Structure 1
Amino acid sequence: MHRVCFQLQVKPDRIEEYKRRHRAVWPDMVRALHETGWHNYSLFLRPDGLLIGYLETPSLEQAQAGMAATEVNARWQAEMGELFEELDGVPPDEGFLVLEEVFHLEDQLAALDD
């Protein structure tokens, strides 16, 4: 399972709307995420709109492709895209910046036991 962390920037004047929409994510969207490999998925939002996402997945590319093939994702991305800065028409689930993982406690502990 791969751990993926990513960032996006929510427009400051749209932060409350972003939070409101995520308090009531469509049930078919939630199911589609799970079924296409988005596991242990969380979003964290800083007061200035910096959004950090985390998920675990066998393959980010396959998880993204799986969602791209769903009708519900097309609707969700179309509605959410306007809330982000600097995407230039790219859907948010394809336009995020993946961050490099530089430390993971369990990996370090496992290395001590070898």
Structure 2
Amino acid sequence: MERIAQIMFLHTNAFDEYQKRHSELWPEMKAALKEHGATNYSIFLNQDNGELFAYLEVPDVEKYNEIANTDICKKWWAYMEPLMSTNPDNSPVTVDLNEVFHLD
């Protein structure tokens, strides 16, 4: 299993709405995440600066990355775009983190 960790950037006035939208995650989006191998997926918020820390595990990173090509993912990104820093295709701006320690 591969572990993925990223930082994303939420607009400071959007904390509550971001949490609300994730608590009501569309069933189609949840299914797409699972179909692309995502497990143990969590997102944490630093309320001091709007940084989001995302962590998930996948058996195959390449297969997981294919989710970006699905219509449901593109729809989700457009839905979330007003709440966070995004790229021109509406995907979240992310900073990939390199693992430096893991306790088995």
TM-score (norm 2): 0.89
CA distance in 2, matches of 1:53, 1:9: 11
Larger radius of gyration: 1
Partner of 2:7: 7
Unaligned 5+ segments in structure 2 are none
Is the contact made by 1:5 and 1:55 (CA closer than 8 Å) also made in structure 2? yes
The 4+ residue runs of structure 1 with deviation greater than 6 A are none
Superimposed CA distance per residue, residues 21-45 of structure 1 (whole angstroms, 9 cap, x where no aligned partner): 0110001110110011111111111
Is the contact made by 1:57 and 1:63 (CA closer than 8 Å) also made in structure 2? yes
Distance 1:13 1:27, change over 3 A: same
Aligned-pair identity in percent equals 37
Aligned length: 102
Report the alpha carbon displacement of residue 49 of structure 1 after superposing the two structures with TM: 1.3
CA distance in 1, matches of 2:40, 2:53: 14
Q: Which has the higher helix share?
A: 1
CA distance in 1, matches of 2:94, 2:13: 20
Distance 1:72 1:88, change over 3 A: closer
CA distance in 1, matches of 2:94, 2:60: 16
CA distance in 1, matches of 2:87, 2:64: 22
